[in-house]
Structure 1
Amino acid sequence: MVVRKGSHSVFSVHLHFVFVTKYRRKAITAPMLERLHEVLANVCIKTKCRLIEFSGESDHVHLLVDFHPDNNLSALVGSLKSASSRIIQKEFTEHLATFYKKPVLWSSSYYVASTSGAPIEKVRQYIKSQEVPTN
């Protein structure tokens, strides 16, 4: 587990994101996936986050992000999706035109789950085991 430090915090927050293509169309190619990796990693750097792992299939991508608590979660998702969509649409216009009439890449929805540290039950047990003040 990697622990990072801010000016007033110590944190380790890892998030698993899944972004799916609009209408779940199988529009993502290998070169697009490679370019998405670069774009998403750059967005993470600009937001003090780190892209730990990335992969995907023709209709969705998975990201494991070391999240910095200075960010708003929904704002980070917006930045990741809008930047990647804009650049991919610009660089792969002809290919995407075979799937979409309007310039689009991502569905408006997304999946996110925290993946940091111990399983939830272990954390719950740890919290319950704390010594409660008696007075």
Structure 2
Amino acid sequence: MTKPGHRRFGLFAHITWHTWRRQRVVRHDDVPIITRSILDAAARNSVHVLAQAVMADHVHVLVSFRPDQTLTPFIRDAKSESSRRVNATKPDRMVWARGYYAGSLSHTHLAAARMYIARQRAKHSDLIPPRVDRPRGRAPGLTNSDSPKALA
């Protein structure tokens, strides 16, 4: 009789990415859209989201993943899908910057990482996505030729 294979893994990462030019363009109403987009991208890419925080100019995500998975497709999917969904709700654009940060964590550091992400709103109270319906879009002095598409 053959024993079932034993597989256990503990691969964890803290991932962050920010808006183009760190503009504070994420609004309160965008947060659930971005959160859902990240969770949907995680499901499509076999990544498990353990914690996340969406701020006005950046996102933190704590994930676990299998050794046969890479994080790049998940991050690409989460960023593109969240911006597509947010931009479908408003005429002005929210754009993520190119790139991301991903750092590996030991399971012994998960509690501290969860706490760090949970405290983002307290740590960066000035970066809580505002509830007010302020105009979004380009920073003062930004011209069409400075747009992310023009600079790409």
Tell me by how many angstroms 1:14 deviates: 1.2
Tell me by how many angstroms 1:104 deviates: 5.0
Q: TM-score, length-normalised on structure 2?
A: 0.62
Matched, 1:36 2:26: no
In proportion to residue count, which structure has more strand?
A: 1
Secondary structure at the counterpart of residue 44 of structure 1? helix
State the partner residue of 1:113: 103
State the partner residue of 2:76: 78
Matched, 1:63 2:61: yes
Secondary structure at the counterpart of residue 79 of structure 2? helix
Distance in structure 2 (CA, Å) of the matches to 1:8 and 1:85: 40
For the aligned residues, what is the CA RMSD?
1.9
State the partner residue of 1:131: none
Secondary structure at the counterpart of residue 11 of structure 1? coil
Identical pairs, percent:
24
Unpaired stretches in structure 1, ≥5 consecutive residues = 1-6, 98-102, 120-135
Q: TM-score, length-normalised on structure 1?
A: 0.69
Tell me by how many angstroms 1:23 deviates: 1.0
- Alignment counterpart, residue 16 of structure 2, candidates 7, 11, 18: 18
Tell me the number of residue pairs that the alignment of Structure 1 and Structure 2 aligns: 105
Moved over 3 A (4+): none
Unpaired stretches in structure 2, ≥5 consecutive residues = 110-152
Larger radius of gyration: 1
Distance in structure 2 (CA, Å) of the matches to 1:79 and 1:35: 14
Distance in structure 1 (CA, Å) of the matches to 2:78 and 2:70: 12
